[in-house]
């Protein structure tokens, strides 16, 4: 369970923020300054008896299983919240493949039955924290680098 749920009965629970990277995954709640956990984007595969990365897949069905296992690890081992009770903010790269987005949406809505999902691109989310109208975002990841200019909350 989350450490602080709020005092008011009417207050809606904080949404979950999910950033699935190729090497590391960040998972936390809206309104908090830092993620609750930053872990490697891998899980223990029971069939192969070794760690498997989320982005290592051959078929869409294998990707579906990878995402189910990874989200189970995040929700029930690291953060300990019920996915049905919280909305999800997915922070993603502008270069994320469509198959990955669609499969993640399918996992969130059908398997975990979340109440809502919003997709946000990472350059815009980085610029949002700065509060400046014009920003140049340079994001260097494990497998790709991305440079984006954000002008009045619109990536160019």
| Domain definitions of the chain by residue range | 16-121
**Length, in residues, of the chain:** 156
Residues of the chain with pLDDT under 70: 1-11, 155-156
What integer pLDDT is reported at residue 48 of this predicted model? 86
What integer pLDDT is reported at residue 4 of this predicted model? 53
What integer pLDDT is reported at residue 6 of this predicted model? 53
Terminal Cα-to-Cα distance of the chain (whole angstroms)? 40
Domain 16-121: homologous superfamily in CATH: ATPase, nucleotide binding domain (3.30.420.40)
Q: What is the DSSP letter of 152?
A: T
């Amino acid at each position: 369970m989350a450490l602080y749920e709020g005092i008011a009965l009417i207050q809606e629970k904080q949404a979950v923020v999910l950033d699935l990277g190729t090497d590391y995954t960040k998972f936390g709640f809206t309104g908090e300054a830092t993620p609750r956990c930053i872990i490697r984007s891998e899980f223990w595969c029971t069939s192969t008896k070794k760690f498997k990365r989320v982005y290592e897949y051959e078929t869409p069905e294998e990707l579906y299983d990878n995402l189910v296992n990874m989200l189970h690890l995040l929700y029930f081992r690291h953060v300990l919240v019920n996915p049905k009770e919280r909305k999800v903010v997915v922070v993603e790269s502008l270069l994320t493949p469509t198959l990955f987005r669609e499969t993640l949406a399918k996992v969130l809505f059908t398997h975990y039955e979340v109440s809502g999902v919003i997709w946000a691109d990472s350059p815009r989310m980085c610029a949002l924290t700065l509060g400046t109208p014009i920003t140049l975002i340079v994001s260097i990841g494990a497998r790709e680098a991305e440079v984006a200019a954000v002008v009045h909350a619109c990536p160019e």
